[in-house]
Amino acid sequence: MKVSSKMVIKCFFFILILNVGITNCKSLPMKTQNLVLKELGQIDTNGEAYDVQVIGNIAYVADTTDDNPGGLVIIDISDLSNPRKLSSYYIEGLPSSLFVTKEIAYLPAKDEGLQIINVSDPTNPKKIGVHYDGGYATHVQVIGDLVYVADNGDGLEILNVSDPAHPTELCQYRFSGRYFHDFFIRDSLMYVTDHRTDYTGIRVLNISDPCNIFEVGNYIRSGIDFIYPYVYNDYLFAADHHVGSGKLRILDVHDPTNITQVSEFHDGGSAMQTFVEGNLAYVPDFKEGLEILDISDPSNPVEIGQYYDGSGHATDVFIIDDIAFVTDREDGLEILEISFNDTETTSNSSPGFNFLFVIGGFISLGLVFLVARKRKLE
C-alpha cells in the first residue's frame, strides 16, 4: 500500500491537535472556597473573659478576674458591631464556666461552690441560691431540673433545682483518688476528664439513672492531660494540657468500651474549649487565636482558617449560624463573621507541560513515519 506525503502530514497534525488538547486540560478554570474571618465587634469585660454562652440577643460571659466585675458579665449583642454591657455580678471564687437556662445562670465558683443567679432582668442580675459542701466546683451542665456539677475531689454532684433558690443534692459519684474536673453530656452518657492528676484520662459514665451511675469505658494514656471534652457524632474532641503539649486530640467513641485516638492537631498554640458543627471544628488556641479545622476526615484535620488580632488569649467559642463569639481573656468578647468566598482560578500550562508537548509532537511524528514505512514494505 502506498502512503502519500499528504496522508503523513494529515496524521501528524491530527496527533498534534490531540496533544494540545491533552496538555491544555490543566488550564480549565477551577472553583475553590476560601474561608474568611472578619471581626464585627468587640467589648472589654474589664477583666478576663473565659467562657461564653449566647441566648437570643444576650451573651453571658464568665469573667475570672479577682475583682469587680469578676463573675458574670451580661452583654447586649443585638447590634453585633456595637456590643453593649448591660450589667455584671461579682462572684468570689473566679468562675471559669457557666450554664444559662430558663433565665437562671449557674456558675461553678471553685471553693465558693455553685452560684445561682436570676437573670430574668439582664440589667439587674440577682443571686438567689448557692450550693457548697466543701468541694471545688469547676464545671456545670443543666438538664431539665437536674444540675450536674464537677466538684474535683468531691466527684460529681447531682442537684435538684426544680426550685433554683433552694437546690438540693440528690446523689454523688466519686472516682477513687481521682478528680472530677469537667465533662460533656450527650444522651445518657457523660464523658469526663480528671485534669491534673497522676491518672488522667477520659472516662465514660452511664447517667441514665442519676443515682446509680456506673463507668462503661475509658481511655487512659500516660503523658496525656485531657481537658475540655466535646462530643459530636461518634467523635470526642479534647485538649491535651500535658506540659509542652497543647494538642487537640480526636478520639473515636462510637464504642465507649473501645475508645481509640484517630488523630491530633497542633500548630504551636494550646487548644482550649472546642466547638464542633458539621464538618468544622472551631478551636480557641489560646495565644494563636481562633482556628478552624476541616474535620470531614476526622483522621486528618486540616486548618482552613484562623483569626488572631495580635493580642488576647482565646479560651472559648460559641457558634450561631455564621457568627463566632470568642472569649479572648484580657481582650474581652470578640464577635467574628465567618464566610466562604468562591474564587475561580486558572492553572496555566507550566514549562514542564510545554516541554512534554514538544516531546509528544516529535514522538507522534516518529510513529507516523514508522507506520508509513511498514505499510510501504508490505
Dist CA 39 CA 314 (whole Å): 14
For residue 209, what are the contacts with CB-CB under 8 A and spacing of at least 6?
A: none
- Which of 32-36, 124-128, 279-283 is predicted least confidently? 32-36
**Which has more confidence, 268 or 188?**
188
Q: Which of 324, 322, 291 is nearest to 308 (CA)?
A: 291
Other Cβ atoms closer than 10 A to 220? 13
Asked if pLDDT for residue 374 goes beyond 70, the answer is no
pLDDT of res. 8: 47
Cα atoms found within 13 Å of the Cα of residue 54, Cβ hemisphere only: 21
Q: What is the pLDDT of residue 29?
A: 52
Cell output for 291: 482556628
Mean per-residue pLDDT for 345-354? Answer: 46
Q: Which of 164 and 69 is assigned the larger pLDDT?
A: 164
Please compute the mean of the pLDDT values over residues 98-103 and round it to a whole number: 97
Q: Percent of the chain beyond pLDDT 90?
A: 65
pLDDT-based confidence at 363, cuts 50/70/90?
low
At residue 10, the pLDDT reads 53
pLDDT in tens, 53-78: 999 999 999 998 876 667 999 999 99
Within 8 A by CB and 6+ apart from 276, the residues are: 230, 232, 235, 237, 282, 295
> Is 156 or 351 the better-scoring residue by pLDDT?
156
- Asked if residues 67 and 34 have their Cβ atoms less than 8 Å apart, the reply is no
Average pLDDT for 323-327: 98
pLDDT at residue 4 in the model: 53
User: How far lies 313's CA from each of 40, 266, 327, in Å?
Assistant: 18, 16, 8
Q: How confident is the model at residue 293 (pLDDT cuts 50, 70, 90)?
A: very high
Band the pLDDT of 25: cuts 50, 70, 90: very low
pLDDT band at 268 (very low <50, low <70, confident <90, very high): confident
Q: What is the mean pLDDT of the chain?
A: 85
Cis peptide leading into residue 229 (ω within 30°) = no
With 60 as the cut, is the pLDDT of residue 354 above it? no
Calculate mean pLDDT across residues 144-163.
94
- pLDDT for 194 equals 81
The answer to whether residue 278 scores a pLDDT higher than 60 is yes
- The rounded percent of the chain whose pLDDT value lies above 70 is 79
Q: What's the pLDDT at 60?
A: 98
The span from the CA of 128 to the CA of 121, in Å, is 13
Looking from the CA of 219 toward its CB, the CA atoms found within 13 Å total 26
Evaluate if residue 214 carries a pLDDT over 70. Answer: yes
In the predicted structure, residue 21 carries a pLDDT above the cut 70: no
Query: What's the pLDDT at 355?
Result: 44
